[in-house]
Amino acid sequence: MRLSAFDCTARGIANLRGNWELALLQIAQMVVFWVLAAAAVAASVAATGATFLLEMASPSDWTRALERLAGWSPSPGSMAVGAAALVIFSTLVALVYGWFQAGIFSTLERGERQAPPLPRADWTVFRTFRWREFVGWSNRWIWRYFVFFGWFFVVTSVVLLFVALLGGAVAVALSRAGGAAAVALGCAALFCVAGVVLGLVLWLGIAQALLPREELGVLGASRAAFGILRRRSPAATLILLFFVLANLGVGLLFWPLSEGMSFAMDGFGAASVAIQLLLGAAQMLAASILTIAFYGSIVSLARAELGRRVA
C-alpha cells in the first residue's frame, strides 16, 4: 500500500507512542556514544604526547596550544600508537552505536509489521517493546549494522572526494569567470553539494530501516534503499524536512529558556547549574523523541514500498 509522507509520519509517531522506551534508549545511546568518542580522542592525543590539546579551556589556552602544536614533532612510534588507539576506540564506538541502532530499528520494524496496513492506526497496535527482545535483536543484527556503517563510510568518502574535486573545478572556473557567471557557478555547486548530502542522509536512514529484514543483507538493503529513494525521494525529503524543522523549533524553544534561567539564576551557584542540567536533559529527551519518530516514519515508508511481507 502506497503511503504519503503525512501518513508515514503519522504511523511513525504512533510507533513511537507504542514503544516510548526507545526514546530513553536513544538518550542512553547518545550518552555512551559521546563518552566513547571523547575517550577515543583523549586516548589518541595522550598516546601521541599531545596532551596540551586537552587543556584548551579558554581562547588564550587555544592560542598557546596552537603555538605548541606548530612546533610539535611527535615520534613515528607515538604516532603509530595514537593511530592504533584511535582505530580501536572508533571501532568500539561503531559497535556500540550499531548495537543500539539494531535494537531500535528492529523494534520499530516489528511494530510496523504487526500494525494494520492502513494510513492511520491506533498507537496500541504498534506496541512490541520488550527489553529481552530488544537485546536479542541488538545481538543478532549488530554485525550487519557495523558492516553497513563501514560501507557507508567508504561510500561517503568517495562522494566527498568527488565533491572536493568538483569544488576545485568550480574554484578554478570562478577565478576565470566574473560577475553573473561566477554567481551562477557558485549557486550550482552549492545546490549539487546540498543534494548529495540530502541523498546520503536519506539513504542512511532508509537502509537502516531495511537492515532488520531477514531476506536483505547489507548490500541488499543498500540497493533497496537506493531504489526506494529513487521512487519516493519527495516523500522521504518531506519527512526529513518536517523533523528537521521540529528539532529547530525545540532548539528555539529551549534557547530563550536556558538564557533566561541563566540570567535569573546568576549567582545562585549549584542551583543555577542544576537548572541548566534539567533544561539540557529536557531538550535531549525532546530531541530523542523526535529522532525515534523520524526513524519510525522512515520504517513505515520503507516497509510500504517493499510490501508487508513477513521478514
Cell numbers linked to 36:
566513547
Strands (E) in the chain, as ranges, are none
| Contact between 3 and 239 (Cβ < 8 Å) | no
Element (H or E) spanning 4, and its range?
Answer: none
Residue 40 domain boundaries:
5-143+232-306
Which residues lie below 8 Å from residue 122, measured CB to CB, with a gap of 6+? 14
Report the domain count for the chain.
1
Do 146 and 30 meet the contact criterion of CB atoms below 8 Å apart?
no
Q: Do residues 89 and 40 touch, judged by C-beta distance below 8 A?
A: yes
Give the count of beta carbons closer than 10 Å to the beta carbon of residue 236.
27
**pLDDT of the chain along its 311 residues, tens only?**
678 889 899 999 999 999 999 999 999 999 998 888 888 777 777 766 655 555 555 555 556 655 565 566 666 766 777 777 778 888 888 899 999 999 999 999 999 988 887 777 888 889 999 999 999 999 999 999 999 999 888 888 888 888 778 777 767 766 666 656 666 767 777 787 788 888 889 999 999 999 998 888 888 888 999 999 988 989 999 999 999 999 899 888 878 777 776 666 666 667 767 777 788 888 889 999 999 999 999 999 998 887 644 33
Q: Which SS3 state, helix, strand or coil, does residue 1 take?
A: coil
Interatomic CA distance for residues 278 and 275, integer angstroms:
5
Q: Extract the C-alpha cell encoding 109.
A: 520494524
Q: Is residue 199 part of a domain?
A: no
Q: Decide if 241 is inside a domain.
A: yes
30 assigned to some structural domain? yes
pTM above 0.75, yes or no: yes
